Structure 1
Amino acid sequence: MAAPSENMLDFETELNEMSGGAFTQNHLQIIQNLTKAFREQDFRANAEKTVFQNLVKVLTQLSDEIRALDQQSPAAESMRLRLQLTAECFRSQRNAAVQCARNQCLMRDLGFIPVSLTVLEALPGLQVENAAWPIEALRCGIQFLGNLAVGNQVCKDDIWKHCFPRLFFATQRPADHGRRRPRSSMVSTLLDGTSAACVQNREHQELAMRVISLCQRQPELDWAVLIVTQHFLKSSALVETMFVGLEHQERVTLLELITAQLGEEEEGAVEGCRVPPRLARFLASHFQERCKVVLSLASQSAPDEEALTVMRLLDLLCEMTSDHKKLMFLQDHPDLLETTVELLREVHAVGKASRNVFTVVQDFSAGGAGPASHPAVSFKAHLVRLIGNLCHAHTDNQNKVREMDGLALILDNCNIDSNNPFISQWAVFAIRILLEHNRENQEMVRALERRGVADDSSLRDMGFRLEERDGTLLLKPLRRDH
């Protein structure tokens, strides 16, 4: 192989001759040779500035001709050659940027970023005989921008300034699986570090909401999910803004992604908590403000979309208060426990007042399980679960439930209910927590039992019994001979 200096002179001459004239297949071979040369570390490190100057001239000419030819409905061969040359230019630029801060900065200073953006924005709208031609150029261009940003904050900031959200919106249109991964890599690279702060302005908030919308409409797009979970969730302010602006179905998707992050933490996939405390407080407050809309489901055949959001939010609150130590401050979130107990009381009363989705049903046959597919199924069970979580090892909350007459309410939900699978188990769990080391609550349950307000027949059906020992009321497993 010839020495880098010899190759450099050849490329300088050949690239200089290319610009300004008509492109040919021979020119494509020149760029392909340059792409191969940039794979060599020595060549990359010693590439002359004139090589890049001539290369950006070629890319600029291709940009102008592609836009002009598209308006004139050119022959297929003319467009194909230019798109092949464009893709190869991007490959050369991509290779030149690999682990070479000098070349990254040089290409930035020579204007490669705005020229590349102009080309990439034009590619998705091209009407060509073979859709694969512009897609390949698009894929290589995105890879180039990704490589240009890696490890180079100056280039990263400049790409962000020029390209987002314009490039994301422009390249979102074609349904091409091949460019998803490189776009994911580029977006993740740009969002990493200080660039994430740029998402706080209004234009970039729109970008973030479009990513959430993609997650909702196309859940198979793993790159979109990763961008949300690895970057957007780090900013409580961004998520709060998005949550307010999203449609209810998209809010549900966002809540599901947050819940999935908590699940990963339980499996030890990450250290710490990926849900910031500020975000947890915001979600708890939103639940308190909007939770009563669920009551409308008692008189509706089709679920209200906002009610669906509230139900998914309740699921998330249950997960956040399930021994995630950094989120257990929610036990002291103002009025969250009171709101939850009061909502359980209202839902329970609505279920008793008329037959609806909140009514206790003990028919598990196929014919009797009509509402089982209703989204409100298990809502009461999750309210009971949240009450138990908020009272765990928390005397003030245990007392608060007693003061709100919540003990009898929870005991009244110990019955098996096909509309709320496992509600009896969650009720036993909550009662155990409420009685633990709390003599006042134990006395209250004892008094309820003596007055007949609450008996332990439901508990016995489940294999538990109330036992008084040394003046203390205990929840004990029922022996088989009882």
Structure 2
Amino acid sequence: MRTDPNFRSNGRRQHPSISLLIRNSESDSGSSDLASKRVLPALLSIVQSPNHHHLLSLCFKLLRNLCAGETANQNSFLEHGGVVVVSSILKSQAASSCPDHGLVRWGVQVLANVSLAGREHQRAVWEEFYPVGFFSLARLGMKEIYTCCDENLQWFGSLISSDDGLSVIAQIVRTASFASFDEDWIMLLLSRICLEESQWPVLFSKLRFVDLPKGEDTESKYDEFSSEQAFLLQILAEILYVRNRDVALPEDVALFVFEIFKKSTRVLEHAMRGKSGLLSGSTDVDVLCYTLTILRDICAQDSVRCNKEDANDVVDVLLSYGLIDMLLSWLGDLEPPAIIRKGIKQFESQEGPSCSSKPCPYKGFRRDIVTLIGNCVYRRNKHAQDEIRHRNGILLLLQQCVIDEDNPFLREWGIWSVRNMLEGNEENQMVVSEYEPGKSNCVLLMKIILS
């Protein structure tokens, strides 16, 4: 992803000469003409003198326009020490208790445009700012800093292979979380770092309660996870959903997600009935939702990727760590779907899971569990199919084939999961055929699914 080099806008009229130059620099011909008149070195001299913020802002706007694709100006900026000049102002602003965000953004846009000129220019910016300067700019939410390592493996390697570099990325995520934006550039950055370079666990750890004052006891917080960690999971869940065909998580990263998922389920002990799918007001509930979604897509890769053996391996590893047993246990602990709760008395004497008062912590929780189970048994995964039978989960799964207002499309996903559980598995089909006709109409349902 390349940052748009054409950072240009009109100046204000309080400084007529600079405002006129800004207007002239907005065209390619005007920018070239100003380059031939050596305006840029004179402009850098003005910037180095003590000036009011408004004059500095106008100068930065003009520098930004001059360096937007004009090679002569980009080279002149480097030759006259423009990186150091602009850097000193940006670092001063970053250290201020009340920074001028407009001034900082225009200054960073100057550097971003200069960086697009090539490796030499990019190196000059990188060496001046890495890592402390980038960390400060990330704290201010300056997305243009990504331009300094875009398509440059050497600089990008420094970000992902060092503690300083990952601290910069963590600060970017923190700022993005606070500002609630998920633009393409940050999604691409996190996709490369977490999915392609497998730095997900390290970055996730760095985001644990980073906003707390030093020395404060994080264990005293109600939530198990920080809002920044939940934001990271949200972004990665979106990426995996879109890139399901071409992203394969290695076993260790899949298990890392599984461990987060297990830890997040502690919220079920005190959860209230969720009124929405996301943004529940509880970070732990959001983490539960995102990790369940991520595991769902990991286990779904068998159906979309050409190399099915790798996907099956990951699913089998998750199964070996008790995924099916855990999902069935939570599904059985939930209060039945509304349509079943209404007629619960007629089932009280029947064999099956006992009723529990635990509600779904968010809308769609039951559906997501059922979908994940269905993905685990997809394409006749006999090991997973048999485990459902051994855990007495067949009837429980059949009971999910109903309409539930708190779980949109539960019936459709329930039928699909039951189909996967029964397909090619004569033992499971035999168990269903032995149920009495009145027991959730199991035999009729099986005939419909297998027909």
Question: TM-score, normalized by length of structure 2?
Answer: 0.70
Check if 1:330 corresponds to 2:288: no
Q: Give runs of aligned pairs for residues 223-234 of structure 1, distance below 5 A.
A: 225-234=183-192
Residue in structure 2 matched with residue 21 of structure 1 by the alignment: none
C-alpha change, 1:149 and 1:460, in structure 2 (3 Å) is same
Residue in structure 2 matched with residue 346 of structure 1 by the alignment: 329
Alpha-carbon distance, 1:341 to partner: 1.2
Residue type of the alignment partner of 1:162: E
Alpha-carbon distance, 1:234 to partner: 1.4
Alpha-carbon distance, 1:119 to partner: 1.2
C-alpha change, 1:164 and 1:449, in structure 2 (3 Å) is same
Q: Looking at secondary structure, tell me which structure has more helix per residue.
A: 1
Q: CA RMSD in A?
A: 4.1
Q: Deviations over 1:147-180 (max 9, x none)?
A: 2122422212322332355455545677xxxxx7
Q: Give runs of aligned pairs for residues 43-62 of structure 1, distance below 5 A.
A: 44=32, 47=35, 51-61=39-49
Contact 2:40-2:66 at 8 Å conserved across structures: no
Q: How many residues align?
A: 387
Residue type of the alignment partner of 2:446: L
Contact 1:318-1:389 at 8 Å conserved across structures: yes
Q: Give runs of aligned pairs for residues 86-235 of structure 1, distance below 5 A.
A: 86-123=56-93, 134-164=100-130, 166-167=132-133, 170=136, 183-184=142-143, 186-194=144-152, 195-200=155-160, 201-219=162-180, 221-222=181-182, 225-235=183-193
Residue in structure 2 matched with residue 387 of structure 1 by the alignment: 373
Structure 1 gaps of 5+ residues are 1-25, 67-81, 175-179, 267-271, 352-357, 468-473, 478-482
Distance 1:295 1:264 in 2: 26
Contact 2:177-2:231 at 8 Å conserved across structures: yes
Residue in structure 1 matched with residue 385 of structure 2 by the alignment: 401
Q: Which has the larger radius of gyration?
A: 1
Query: In percent, how many aligned pairs have the same letter?
Result: 16
Residue in structure 2 matched with residue 318 of structure 1 by the alignment: 296
Residue in structure 1 matched with residue 441 of structure 2 by the alignment: 460
Distance 1:215 1:84 in 2: 27
Alpha-carbon distance, 1:343 to partner: 0.8
C-alpha change, 1:299 and 1:165, in structure 2 (3 Å) is same
Check if 1:277 corresponds to 2:248: yes
Higher relative contact order (CA 8 A, sep 6+): 2
Residue in structure 1 matched with residue 230 of structure 2 by the alignment: 252
Structure 2 gaps of 5+ residues are 1-12, 209-224, 273-280, 345-355
Distance 2:135 2:169 in 1: 11
Contact 2:24-2:30 at 8 Å conserved across structures: no
Residue in structure 2 matched with residue 415 of structure 1 by the alignment: 399
Alpha-carbon distance, 1:115 to partner: 1.0
Pick the aligned partner of 2:416 from 429, 436, 442: 429
Distance 1:420 1:55 in 2: 62
Q: Deviations over 1:265-293 (max 9, x none)?
A: 58xxxxx63xx324x64442124435444
Further displaced range: 324-333 or 193-202: 324-333
C-alpha change, 1:287 and 1:327, in structure 2 (3 Å) is farther
Residue in structure 2 matched with residue 355 of structure 1 by the alignment: none
Question: TM-score, normalized by length of structure 1?
Answer: 0.66
Residue type of the alignment partner of 2:371: R
Distance 1:364 1:215 in 2: 43
Distance 1:415 1:155 in 2: 64
